[in-house]
A and B are shown apart, each in its own frame.
Chain A
Amino acid sequence: MASVAERAPGARRPRVPAIRLEGVTKAYTGQVEPAVRDLSLDVAEGETAVLVGPSGCGKTTTLRLINRLITPDEGRIVVDGDDVSGAEPDALRRRMGYVIQQIGLFPHMTVQENVATVPRMLGWSKARRGERTDELLATVGLEPSAFRDRFPRELSGGQQQRVGVARALAADPPILLMDEPFGSVDPVVRERLQDELLSLQRRLRKTILFVTHDIDEAVKMGDRIAVMDHGGRIEQYATPAQVLSRPASQFVSEFVGPGATLKALSLTRVGDLEPAECPVLGLSSDPAAIRAAIRRAGTEDALLVDDVGRPRCWVTVEELERRFDALGEAAIAAEATVRRSDDLRLALERMVSTRAGKAVVVDDAGACIGVVELAGVIAAVESLRSHASVTARGREVRPLSPVSD
């Protein structure tokens, strides 16, 4: 269960948080209830914190308070140790990338001009801006020569949001504010963009504040999740594993919904599972040898692989006895394969969709490197629960209001 420990970024938490909100209140004119009331929140440097909650809970307001698109009525906002209440808003905003759901690319500017918006305001030379644009387009997976001179309307929604992310990253700001950035693209593209942002973040180590109403997205993207109720009240601020397995309140457990355990499966990788015992033999092995191997291992069946190690089929002892002359057809095809980097949700999906009830772990070439079973997944869930409860009682619990130090 190493992966859970790794995702909780306790190891690299500096003393001064990158973003700190202290008792922040904001009421919009004409509304009785403040959109955000007495909100305190720390986001550690290099961490992705996700604000998740129902619509109207104040999560977007919180984001806009941080880059001063709106001004708090009360409280303090500290960015990198500086109180930003008095800061010049435009200069502050150039230190933070900003990505919104509607993408908001400038339709009359080319991709290159869009991406270079902040560098141009910062007075970078044209050559340097061009270089930076190409570098960023490549980073977000767009071929610079093909996309640099296009206009936003010539791009798909997913491509537009890639440009939106590139634009936010242009001047290499230490902080990224993302307001439902993938909310306007279809689920397939969304998943891909999420994965790309995760791998980007592993390299860039930005401080990201990410707003979503989708708990699955929060679990996937966040190092920490702040579950918000109306008025910006934070019901729980903890790692995804803790939120899923130890919801701090009725509201959190309702918001997480009934599938919390299944959701938690996405936090663990196949590589972290205890491999199952299973004899693996060549396809042309002698039936007697297969029988012997099964008996020796004490399993019900054996996995047969082809000459380069790719899984072909499962065979049981009975099948061997019945039709040992036509092994390939008698057996269950070993179609359910996973990689070490896949999460358990996918592994479970693959296991239950085949009669064998287990999945073969393969390497990049498709060769078998092990077998995982349902029992292994169940053990992992148990371990996840106990791990989260231990840490929930221990150092991982942090007060919602900041400690004065």
Chain B
Amino acid sequence: MASFISYLERRADHLLELALAHATVVALALLVAAVLGVGVGVAVRAHERSAEAALAVAGTFLTVPSYALIGLLVPALGLGYAPTIVALAMYALLPILRNTLAGLRSVDPAVVECARGLGMGDRERLLRVELPLAWPVILAGLRVATVLIVGIAAIAAAVNGPGLGEDIFVGLARIGSASALNYVLGGMLGVVVLAILFDAAYAGLARITTSRGIRG
């Protein structure tokens, strides 16, 4: 235990750097997945069949083992950031898409009817009424997606991707040696702390961005 603490002290700068890179790929992947997930969700919300199909595709992504998926992307995208972000975005898609659809469907039809009846156009209705009302549910989807891919992002080290996976892989490769466990534990601890920080950020974001009129 004492050796692990001194290890953390010695490697603090390095671990921080890895954690920052880890957070960056997660954030970039989330951005991509959010744009896609919310966009597709909005596009298919009124068509039951398309919505089912989109959910099935996103669901399939999630069933592919992460190690395999990232590996499969290498021939097309090379090593490093690109395959990592694409793979993570694919994993994040399902929770975001599903919650976008659920959120939009949970909007009271009477409210939408009134918005139309008052002469609100499609675009304005979506931006001013439907999305704001669906927002808490969409945000919950983003939160689940984040927790999910913070962990998966560690696998990215397998393709030279950035992040805390690097230390975990180094440690696993040296299993048996004196410092191996410290490497693995350091990486793991970093991932857990990141996940907690992301979650806290979401709690704050939910408070700030949800209207007082619909806050639970």
Q: Once A and B bind, how many residue pairs between them come within 8 Å at the CB atom?
A: 73
Q: Which of B110, B129, B213 contacts A100 (CB 8 A)?
A: B110
Residues of B within 8 A of A105 (CB): 111, 114
Q: A102-B108, A104-B110, A108-B132 are in contact. Are A94 and B118 (CB under 8 A)?
A: yes
Chain A, residues 298-309, CB within 8 Å of chain B (1/0): the string is 000000000000
- How many Å from the CB of A288 to the closest CB on chain B? 70
Say whether B111 contacts A94, CB under 8 Å: no
Chain A, residues 68-111, CB within 8 Å of chain B (1/0): the string is 01000000000000000000011111100010101111111110
Chain B, residues 134-160, CB within 8 Å of chain A (1/0): the string is 000000000000000000000000000
Q: How far is the CA of A117 from the CA of B212 in the complex (A)?
A: 18
Taking CB atoms and an 8 Å cut-off, the chain B residues in 58-96 that contact chain A are none
Return 23 A-B CB contacts under 8 Å, by A number: A67-B117, A69-B113, A90-B121, A92-B119, A93-B116, A98-B118, A103-B110, A104-B110, A105-B114, A106-B115, A107-B213, A108-B132, A108-B214, A109-B211, A117-B120, A118-B118, A121-B118, A121-B124, A151-B212, A151-B213, A151-B214, A167-B118, A177-B117
Q: Which of B108, B118, B121, B211 contacts A117 (CB 8 A)?
A: B118
Q: A91-B119, A121-B124 are in contact. Are A98 and B114 (CB under 8 A)?
A: yes
Q: Does A13 sit within 8 A of B, measured CB to CB?
A: no
Among B111, B119, B212, the one with the most A-chain Cβ atoms within 10 Å of its Cβ is B119
Q: Does A398 sit within 8 A of B, measured CB to CB?
A: no
Residues in A lying within 8 Å of B, measured CB to CB: 67, 69, 89-94, 98, 100, 102-110, 117-118, 121, 151-153, 167-168, 177
Say whether B110 contacts A102, CB under 8 Å: yes
Say whether B111 contacts A104, CB under 8 Å: yes
Q: How far is the CA of A272 from the CA of B214 in the complex (A)?
A: 51
Looking at chain B, what size class is its interface with the partner chain? 20 to 34
Main SS at interface, chain B? helix
Q: Which of A67, A98, A107, A168 contacts B111 (CB 8 A)?
A: A107
Residues of A within 8 A of B212 (CB): 151
- How many Å from the CB of A67 to the closest CB on chain B? 6
Residue of A nearest to B121 (CB): A90
Q: A106-B129, A109-B213, A151-B212 are in contact. Are A69 and B120 (CB under 8 A)?
A: no
14 further A-B contacts with Cβ under 8 Å, apart from A91-B119, A107-B108, A168-B118, are A69-B113, A93-B117, A93-B119, A98-B118, A100-B114, A102-B110, A103-B110, A104-B114, A109-B211, A110-B213, A117-B118, A121-B120, A151-B211, A177-B117
Residues of A within 8 A of B213 (CB): 107-110, 151-153
Q: Does B133 sit within 8 A of A, measured CB to CB?
A: yes
Q: How far is the CA of A109 from the CA of B212 in the complex (A)?
A: 9
Residue of B nearest to A177 (CB): B117
Say whether A69 contacts B110, CB under 8 Å: no
- How many Å from the CB of A184 to the closest CB on chain B? 10
Q: Which of A108, A153, A168 contacts B133 (CB 8 A)?
A: A108
Say whether B108 contacts A118, CB under 8 Å: no
